[in-house]
Amino acid sequence: MASLELKQLVKEFGSGASMVRVIHGVDLQVNDGEFVVFVGPSGCGKSTLLRLICGLEDATSGDILLDNERVNDKRAADRGLAMVFQSYALYPHMTVYQNMAFGLENIGTPKAVIEKKVGDAAKLLRLDALLERKPTQLSGGQRQRVAIGRAIVREPKIFLFDEPLSNLDAELRVSMRSEITGLHRRLGATMIYVTHDQVEAMTMADKIVVLRAGKIEQVGSPLELYNRPANKFVAGFIGSPQMNFVPVHAGHGDTIVTAHNASFTKPTQTRPASGTELTLGVRPEHLSLQAADGALALPMTITGVEQLGGHSLLYGTLPGAGGKDGPRITAQVAGQVSTRIGDTATVYASADTCHLFSTADGETVVR
Amino acid sequence: MSPIKFLTRTRNGRSLDWTDWMSYAYLTVGLFLMFGPVLWLVASSFKTEAALTEFPPSLLPYGQKAVAVPGEEKPKPVYRVKLPDGTTKELPEVRRIGLVATHVDPAKPEEFIRVNVNDREPVREFRLATENYTDLAGKLKFGTYLWNSVFITVVATLLTLLFNSMAAFALSKYKFAGRKGVFLLILSTLMVPPAIVLVPNFLVISELGLLNSLWGVIWPAVATPTGVFLLRQYMLTIPDELLEAARMDHASEWKIYWRIVLPLAAPALAVLAIFSVMWRWNDFLWPLIVLSKNEHFTLQLALNAFQGDLVTQWNYLLAMTVITLLPVTIVFAFLQKYITQGIASAGVK
């Protein structure tokens, strides 16, 4: 049980001219018992951040506070954290039991205690029957559970997961997801989980930390991020299919005008000057084929249709300037549709589901 | 597949194609070239001294038949003798003076038969002269030589594995300034011919007072660039995450090396062990320089010493050569899979 605080954490690799800064002064507070997910595209520094926390990398500057104690100079082993690696990092020449007992043996735990702890963890993870097997004789999901078991027996202050599900097939990923969240509920432990998969982040997290290029873009609960993204990047990253972005500009008053001269009214707190370039964001699931009062009409030329039974996905383009194809649009509509490729269909976005971002810096203007 | 079927396979599975003739001819010649001398050596090592000098030589070890004669200490050689009455009989010879040999019939030992040596020929039978081997034990300090060879081979191999793997571990898993430089330095020693370092090595060993000591043979051989290279390349394939996991599991660096890296590098260690055993066992020049006292000789040196300036006891020499070949042959036979793997992975031989 522990809380974690990062203060102005910076990590640089290399030195001199070849120096690369991968973490740019990150501030973060992780409360006791929270399930925090670091999410971001590959190369955003989320794994590096995790390695800094657990002590496998040394921070260039800034503080890592564990229960309000600075642990920057503590060795990885002494920080009392446990990590589940992406490749599981199970010792291939040891049995499941030995894998789980190795850490306890190293700190001189009595044999009887080791047996009990490993036994308990194995029971919790349904590994009891597999204790004498070698990792190569296990399936992907079982290996994953052994890796988690190895973390559990050490009773760490914080569990760290580095993309633990990325090597599993889709079906197993879904079941392991609920298994890990179930474990979190049962143990009540603080967990930090790194993933590039926003679905995992949305379904598992108490708190999501969206990272891009070594900086935190937004921290919040899954629905906060979905409903009130801080900027265009977060809006595009959270939600599947991805949010549609349409270039627009501010008209007179509260009107917003699209490139194809459709307009609608959307009150903004900071009313941008008329003619300001903006980006309109609307999620595919908020588009509808039914016209509604005050809704923005988006006439799209259909380029693809995916019928999923319960709902359908329409892919298309908006008319652009000079007869060229405009921005791409994805619409998720309820039920089944008879639309074909090449048809023109108009989808409507109601004003309250639209987000507006500043085109210049991507910051949210209004939701 | 049964061995017969395996050995008589043909290209199209039915009759012999001309390519089959060619391949079988090539293989037979190859087999004969490679294996013939070894077979010849083994067969010859079972011949008596007399049979070895015989011309024309026989392939198989034949020895003259000998029987016990009452009143004589040693068994006497048997000849097929043409008796004066025209019959022939196999009789042992008791003595020979000039051209006249005296034979006796073991059934009637009091009756001597004198015949001209031209009227008789030796009775030969297939006989393994195992005394070539059994005599060795008492003849020279064979046990001492064997022990010296085994001691040097085993200890040097264990030390080679230990030191080379530690160096390889550091070079493959730690990031430190000059890591590449150190590795290149180690590799570059491969380019120095052994003959050049012979004298400096000798001076060092001599200064350390290790001349005429088995350790003087062992220590200079322990650090091999080949071994470091081979093990380092293998250890690079061990994922760093395993080491990091072990580090988080409170394992000390020594423990990581001993409990994680060494067991996982076992295939490469096996290859190096095989090479080291072969190198040390067959080593001749360096032991010859360091060891000058007879009681410190290895088998290879003893073999050399066996070839006297005036007389060479070929039967014993051959028997000893066979014994010397055995360990390496056994190592090869059982571990050939690892050897080919090792040669393929490191490009050494």
Q: What is the pLDDT of residues B156-184, one digit of tens each?
A: 999 999 999 999 999 999 989 999 999 99
On whether the CB atoms of residues B270 and B340 are closer than 8 A, the answer is no
Closest chain B C-alpha to A114 CA, distance in angstroms: 14
H helix or E strand, kind and range, residue A21:
strand A20-30
Structural domain for A159, as ranges: 4-237
> Which residues on chain B are in Cβ contact (under 8 Å) with A83?
244-245, 248
CB contact B82 to A (< 8 Å)? no
Asked whether residue A256 falls in the same domain as residue A224, the answer is no
**Of the candidates B140, B141, B142, B164, which has an alpha carbon nearest to the alpha carbon of residue B279?**
B164
Report CA dihedral (B105, B109, B113, B118) to the nearest 10 degrees: 50
On whether the CB atoms of residues A77 and B247 are closer than 8 A, the answer is yes
The residue type at B254: W
Check CB contact under 8 Å for B251 and A102: yes
CB contact A31 to B (< 8 Å)? no
Looking at residue A1, its pLDDT comes to 61
Beta B120-122 vs B76-82: how paired, if at all? antiparallel
**Of the candidates B263, B261, B277, B266, which has an alpha carbon nearest to the alpha carbon of residue B167?**
B261
| φ, ψ (nearest 5 deg) of residue B47 | -90, 155
Quote the pTM value.
0.78
Looking at residue B349, its pLDDT comes to 40
Q: How many CB atoms lie within 10 A of CB A77?
A: 20
A85 CB burial (10 A radius; 0-12, 13-18, 19+): buried
| φ, ψ (nearest 5 deg) of residue B212 | 60, 30
Per-residue pLDDT of chain A (367 residues; tens, 9 = 90+): 688 999 999 999 887 788 888 999 899 999 999 999 999 998 888 889 999 999 988 999 999 999 989 999 888 888 889 999 988 899 999 999 999 999 999 999 999 999 999 999 999 888 889 999 999 999 888 998 999 999 999 889 899 999 988 888 888 888 888 889 998 998 888 999 999 888 899 999 999 999 999 999 999 999 999 999 999 999 999 988 899 998 888 887 778 888 777 777 777 767 777 878 888 899 999 998 888 877 888 888 899 999 999 999 999 998 876 667 778 899 998 888 888 888 888 899 888 888 888 888 878 776 5
The residue type at A19: M
Choose one of A214, A237, A260: the last residue of a domain. A237
Write out residues 104-133 of A within 8 Å (CB-CB) of B. Answer: 106-107
Q: How many domains does chain A have?
A: 2
CA separation for the pair B319, A159 (Å, rounded)? 68
Q: What residues contact B168, with CB distance under 8 A and at least 6 apart?
A: B227, B228, B230, B231, B232, B234, B235, B265
Asked whether residue A53 falls in the same domain as residue A96, the answer is yes
> Which residues on chain B are in Cβ contact (under 8 Å) with A91?
242, 245-246, 260
Q: Number of A:B CB contacts under 8 A? A: 54
B300 CB burial (10 A radius; 0-12, 13-18, 19+): buried
Choose one of A170, A204, A237: the last residue of a domain. A237
Nearest by CB: A92 against B246, B247, B264 = B264
**Of the candidates A283, A366, A292, which has an alpha carbon nearest to the alpha carbon of residue A331?**
A283
3-class DSSP state for residue A61?
A: strand
Q: How many CB atoms lie within 10 A of CB B41?
A: 14
Check CB contact under 8 Å for A89 and B247: no
> Which residues on chain B are in Cβ contact (under 8 Å) with A150?
245, 249
The sign of the torsion formed by the CA atoms of A64, A65, A70, A75 equals negative
Asked whether residue A233 falls in the same domain as residue A119, the answer is yes
Choose one of A220, A237, A254: the last residue of a domain. A237
CB contact A87 to B (< 8 Å)? yes
Check CB contact under 8 Å for B244 and A82: no
Tokens of A125: 């993870």
CA separation for the pair A76, B245 (Å, rounded)? 10
Q: How many CB atoms lie within 10 A of CB B224?
A: 21
Asked whether residue A43 falls in the same domain as residue A163, the answer is yes
Q: A13, A52, A53, A56: which to substitute to probe chain B, counting the most B Cβ within 10 Å?
A: A56
Cis amide prior to A222 (ω within 30 degrees): no
3-class DSSP state for residue B277?
A: helix
Closest chain A C-alpha to B205 CA, distance in angstroms: 41
Asked whether residue A36 falls in the same domain as residue A164, the answer is yes
Q: How many CB atoms lie within 10 A of CB B187?
A: 14
CB contact A89 to B (< 8 Å)? yes
Check CB contact under 8 Å for B264 and A93: yes
Asked whether residue A111 falls in the same domain as residue A253, the answer is no
Asked whether residue A34 falls in the same domain as residue A16, the answer is yes
On whether the CB atoms of residues A358 and A268 are closer than 8 A, the answer is no
Q: B250, B258, B262, B264: which to substitute to probe chain A, counting the most A Cβ within 10 Å?
A: B250
Asked whether residue A274 falls in the same domain as residue A157, the answer is no
> Which residues on chain B are in Cβ contact (under 8 Å) with A103?
248-251
- Please tell me which residue of chain A has the smallest CA distance to B254: A106
CB contact B244 to A (< 8 Å)? yes
Query: Which CATH number is A226's domain given?
Result: 3.40.50.300
What is the value of ipTM here, to two decimals? Answer: 0.81
CB contact A98 to B (< 8 Å)? no
Asked whether residue A131 falls in the same domain as residue A262, the answer is no
CB contact A39 to B (< 8 Å)? no
Looking at residue B348, its pLDDT comes to 45
On whether the CB atoms of residues A23 and A214 are closer than 8 A, the answer is yes
The sign of the torsion formed by the CA atoms of A131, A137, A143, A147 equals positive
Q: What residues contact A59, with CB distance under 8 A and at least 6 apart?
A: A9, A10, A11, A23, A52, A72
The tens digit of pLDDT for each residue in B34-69 reads 989 999 899 888 888 777 877 777 778 877 777 888
The mean pLDDT values, 10 residues at a time, for chain B of 349 residues are 76 79 91 91 85 78 79 80 81 83 80 82 80 77 87 95 95 92 92 90 93 92 91 91 91 93 89 88 92 89 79 83 86 76 56
3-state secondary structure B3-51: HHHHHCCCCCCCCCCHHHHHHHHHHHHHHHHHHHHHHHHHHHHCCCHHH
CB contact B247 to A (< 8 Å)? yes
Asked whether residue A150 falls in the same domain as residue A15, the answer is yes
> Which residues on chain B are in Cβ contact (under 8 Å) with A163?
none
Write out the E strands in A46-201: 61-66, 69-70, 81-84, 158-162, 190-195
CA separation for the pair A52, A72 (Å, rounded)? 9
3-class DSSP state for residue B151?
A: helix
Asked whether residue A180 falls in the same domain as residue A79, the answer is yes
Query: Which CATH number is A273's domain given?
Result: 2.40.50.140
On whether the CB atoms of residues A162 and A193 are closer than 8 A, the answer is no
Asked whether residue A231 falls in the same domain as residue A248, the answer is no
The residue type at B245: A
> Which residues on chain A are in Cβ contact (under 8 Å) with B252?
106
On whether the CB atoms of residues B320 and B42 are closer than 8 A, the answer is no
Q: Angle CA(A270)–CA(A276)–CA(A278) in degrees, nearest 5?
A: 80
Looking at residue B344, its pLDDT comes to 64
